[in-house]
């Protein structure tokens, strides 16, 4: 039986108790916020999540009026602080405001608490959702928790929002004219949809729309949580019953009226109950990058504008495809998205035409592999994706804009199963570049490299005593178009031992993180932080100047947000 199955991994998590309240955190870049302006902090909600399956926290949120006209702020952040005093699994937190899933994903995987308590705080920049926060509306936090024998942890949560006034030095943040949800539009629970099958929604955009930037929030869960370790169907018969198939490749697609508009080869988010945390002695205290704040993906949908401004509804679809012949996946991924829509100063309809469209329905992929005479299994799955879409867009006020969206992504996943499956080695590389230009000006830019190595050896094949090594990086230069971009170079390495046993799981290990953006180096061993150094300035690397020319048909003041405080 393969190790990387949620039930087995989750069983490992309560192995080690600690003697003090543990501060658990993800190494992350703090949000850049202005200093020296008036701040208004308001509590959005407070809730103890005990038996909360199907019982989300739903509150009416009204923006503050003491930090300037609602919507005129220079920045907005959310601070989510959680304590728990018992034993509990990872739980997904889904934050929805005005029917849009916000805070990058705001799908927060809660760190597994220890017996003596845990506290963590995550501060997230939500400035790009200013059009939502400028009006009152429904705020929903879904955190499905379950209390049962052996699981007694109650998550006590408090969520605050901080609004930073604008000033001459810190002008109002750049914002879209409208945000359209690609979500279930539920008013009682988190607004993400479970796929497969794909999620579709009818969308009508304003007739004077001149650009559209989509953001997609995907999360692999259930049998898809360890998707990068799934076995290509062709080789499934060489593995024990219960091994999960559908292969390790996943492509998240956005379709407009059935045509691919853009895709993401997602970063393998490893939740706090995942493999690397086991190596830090029972799951604490550094979570994998992205677990508390799932990466999101940006697609410039502007080339479709001439087709969408006809005043009619259009079919937007988000789905997840594999490299298997039928492209199907297991259950399930949670997905949602949103469209940041920029309109023209004229109310006249935008016209134009799509001048070229080159996007295949699916990535070009291959599965190769072989079984040696001694039973060793080697499987390699690779995929490539090229997309190029161009349009000419004529705004009602008479401005002609040439728009191009291109993607060039490559992926390879190599799995080696040796010595009667007692050695399981994984290497995955996912590298790509997505880019749009509006009249030649670079607009959306996303260059990334997400390498992952997991090496696992069962040292006692009659039992379950493992040594494991782990090397996982998130290198990404992202400019989402209208908003502040970021450059992140994060690497996590871990090595350790763990013993799975009915009489109690044990383990030890080290877990190192480096993040070059602002140079925070954190090491942990045996539930203790052994090194925590912070140096460097966030402002230099993650607050590139915003180019006014990027925004078709409208002039925005560039945001200037100098380095602020660290968010944890």
Binding site for ligand NAG (CB under 6 A): 79, 81, 85-86, 121, 123, 152, 154, 158, 160, 185-187, 198, 200-202, 255, 258, 313, 315, 317, 414, 416, 420, 425, 427, 453, 455, 463, 465, 493-495, 497, 499, 501, 503, 508, 510, 512, 523, 526, 528, 567
Contact 334, 184 (CB under 8 A): no
Residue 187 CB, nearest approach to ligand NAG (Å) = 4
3-state DSSP assignment of residue 256:
strand
Q: What DSSP assignment string belongs to 147-208?
A: -BTTB---EEEEEEEEEEPP-SSSPPPP--SEEEEES---SSS---EEESS-EEEEE---TT
Q: Is the dihedral of CA 182, 186, 190, 194 positive or negative?
A: negative
What are residue 472's DSSP bridge partners?
A: 452, 492
Cβ neighbors of 338 (< 8 A, separation 6 or more) are 100, 101, 179, 180, 181, 182, 183, 214, 215
Residue 503 CB, nearest approach to ligand NAG (Å) = 4
The backbone region for 13, taken as left when phi is positive above 0, alpha when psi lies in -120 to 50, beta otherwise, is: alpha
By beta-carbon proximity to ligand NAG, the closer residue of 40 and 441 is 40
Cβ neighbors of 183 (< 8 A, separation 6 or more) are 96, 99, 100, 101, 191, 192, 193, 201, 336, 337, 338
What torsion, rounded to 10 degrees, do the Cα atoms 12, 14, 18, 23 define? 90
Residue 113 CB, nearest approach to ligand NAG (Å) = 9
Residue 81 CB, nearest approach to ligand NAG (Å) = 4
By beta-carbon proximity to ligand NAG, the closer residue of 77 and 221 is 77
Side-chain half-sphere of 32: how many Cα atoms within 13 Å? 23
By beta-carbon proximity to ligand NAG, the closer residue of 352 and 567 is 567
Residue 217 CB, nearest approach to ligand NAG (Å) = 19
By beta-carbon proximity to ligand NAG, the closer residue of 156 and 475 is 156
By beta-carbon proximity to ligand NAG, the closer residue of 342 and 421 is 421
By beta-carbon proximity to ligand NAG, the closer residue of 14 and 255 is 255
Residue 206 CB, nearest approach to ligand NAG (Å) = 18
65 CB neighbour count, 10 Å cutoff: 10
* CA dist list (Å): 167 to 34, 78, 130, 288: 10, 21, 16, 37
Residue 83 CB, nearest approach to ligand NAG (Å) = 9
Residue 189 CB, nearest approach to ligand NAG (Å) = 10
Residue 566 CB, nearest approach to ligand NAG (Å) = 8
Contact 306, 350 (CB under 8 A): yes
By beta-carbon proximity to ligand NAG, the closer residue of 355 and 508 is 508
Contact 77, 124 (CB under 8 A): yes
CA–chain centroid gap for 525, Å, is 27
Q: Is the dihedral of CA 15, 19, 22, 27 positive or negative?
A: negative
Cβ neighbors of 533 (< 8 A, separation 6 or more) are 519, 520, 521, 522
Residue 74 CB, nearest approach to ligand NAG (Å) = 17
By beta-carbon proximity to ligand NAG, the closer residue of 79 and 473 is 79
Contact 205, 307 (CB under 8 A): no
Residue 380 CB, nearest approach to ligand NAG (Å) = 10
Residue 395 CB, nearest approach to ligand NAG (Å) = 27
Cis peptide before 180 (omega within 30 of 0): no
By beta-carbon proximity to ligand NAG, the closer residue of 326 and 555 is 326
* Residue 508: φ, ψ to 5°: -150, 165
By beta-carbon proximity to ligand NAG, the closer residue of 151 and 400 is 151
Distance CA 495, CA 510 (A): 6
HEC string of 482-543 equals CCCCEEEEEEEEEEEEEECCCCCCEEEEEEEEEECCCCEEEEEECCEEEEEEECCCHHHHHC
Residue 45 CB, nearest approach to ligand NAG (Å) = 12
Residue 21 CB, nearest approach to ligand NAG (Å) = 12
By beta-carbon proximity to ligand NAG, the closer residue of 362 and 427 is 427
By beta-carbon proximity to ligand NAG, the closer residue of 155 and 297 is 155
Residue 331 CB, nearest approach to ligand NAG (Å) = 18
By beta-carbon proximity to ligand NAG, the closer residue of 174 and 280 is 280
* CA dist list (Å): 172 to 53, 410, 542, 558: 39, 38, 19, 9
* CA dist list (Å): 176 to 225, 245, 336, 344: 33, 42, 19, 11
Distance CA 270, CA 14 (A): 17
Q: Which residues of 177-186 are buried (b: 16+ CB within 10 A; e: fewer)?
A: bebbbbbbeb
By beta-carbon proximity to ligand NAG, the closer residue of 111 and 352 is 111
Contact 129, 97 (CB under 8 A): yes
By beta-carbon proximity to ligand NAG, the closer residue of 429 and 433 is 429
């Amino acid at each position: 039986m393969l190790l990387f199955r949620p039930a087995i991994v989750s069983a490992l998590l309560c192995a080690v108790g600690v003697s003090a309240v543990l501060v658990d955190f993800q190494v992350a870049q703090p949000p850049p916020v202005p200093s020296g302006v008036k701040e208004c902090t308001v509590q959005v909600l407070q809730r103890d999540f005990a038996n909360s399956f199907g019982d989300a926290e739903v509150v009416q949120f009204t923006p503050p009026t003491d930090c300037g006209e609602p919507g005129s702020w220079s920045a907005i952040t959310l601070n989510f602080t959680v304590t728990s005093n018992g034993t509990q699994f990872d739980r997904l937190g889904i934050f929805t405001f005005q029917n849009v899933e916000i805070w990058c994903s705001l799908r927060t995987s809660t760190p597994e608490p220890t017996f003596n308590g845990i506290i963590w705080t995550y501060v997230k920049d939500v400035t790009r959702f200013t059009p939502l926060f400028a009006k009152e509306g429904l705020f929903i936090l879904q955190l499905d928790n379950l209390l049962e024998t052996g699981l007694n942890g109650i998550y006590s949560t408090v969520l605050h929002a901080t609004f930073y006034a604008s000033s001459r030095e810190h002008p109002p943040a750049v914002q879209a004219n409208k945000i359209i949800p690609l979500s279930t539009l539920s008013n009682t629970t988190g607004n993400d949809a479970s796929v497969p099958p794909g999620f579709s929604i009818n969308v009508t955009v304003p007739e004077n729309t001149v650009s559209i930037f989509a953001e997609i929030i995907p999360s692999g869960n259930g049998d898809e949580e360890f998707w990068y370790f799934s076995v290509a169907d062709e080789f499934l018969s060489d593995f024990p019953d219960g091994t999960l198939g559908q292969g390790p490749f996943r492509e998240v697609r956005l379709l407009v009226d059935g045509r691919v508009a853009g895709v993401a080869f997602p970063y393998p988010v490893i939740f706090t109950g995942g493999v690397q945390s086991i190596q830090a002695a029972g799951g604490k205290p550094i979570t994998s990058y992205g677990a508390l704040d799932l990466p999101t993906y940006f697609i410039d949908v502007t080339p479709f504008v001439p087709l969408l401004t006809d005043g009619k509804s259009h079919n937007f679809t988000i789905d997840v495809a594999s490299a298997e012949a039928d492209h199907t996946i297991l259950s399930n991924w949670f997905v949602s998205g949103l469209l940041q829509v920029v309109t023209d100063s004229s109310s006249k309809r935008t016209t134009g035409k799509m001048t070229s469209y080159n996007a295949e329905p699916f990535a070009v992929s291959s599965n190769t592999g072989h079984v040696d005479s001694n039973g060793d299994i080697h499987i390699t799955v690779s995929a490539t994706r090229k997309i190029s879409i161009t349009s000419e867009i004529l705004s009602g006020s008479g401005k002609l804009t040439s728009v191009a969206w291109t993607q060039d992504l490559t992926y390879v996943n190599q799995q080696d199963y040796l010595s009667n499956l007692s050695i399981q080695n994984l290497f995955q590389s996912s590298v790509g570049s997505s880019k749009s230009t509006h009249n030649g000006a670079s607009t959306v830019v996303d260059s990334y490299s997400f390498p992952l190595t997991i090496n696992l050896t069962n040292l006692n094949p009659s039992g379950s005593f493992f040594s494991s090594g782990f090397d996982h990086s998130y290198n990404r230069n992202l400019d989402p178009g209208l908003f502040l971009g970021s450059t992140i170079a994060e690497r996590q390495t871990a090595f350790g031992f763990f013993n799975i046993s009915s009489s109690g799981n044990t383990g030890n290990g080290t877990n190192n993180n480096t993040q070059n953006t602002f140079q925070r180096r954190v090491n942990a061993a045996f539930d203790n932080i052994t090194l925590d150094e912070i140096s460097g300035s966030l402002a230099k690397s993650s607050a590139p100047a915003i180019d006014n020319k990027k925004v078709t048909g409208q002039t925005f003041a560039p945001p200037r947000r100098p380095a602020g405080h660290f968010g944890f």
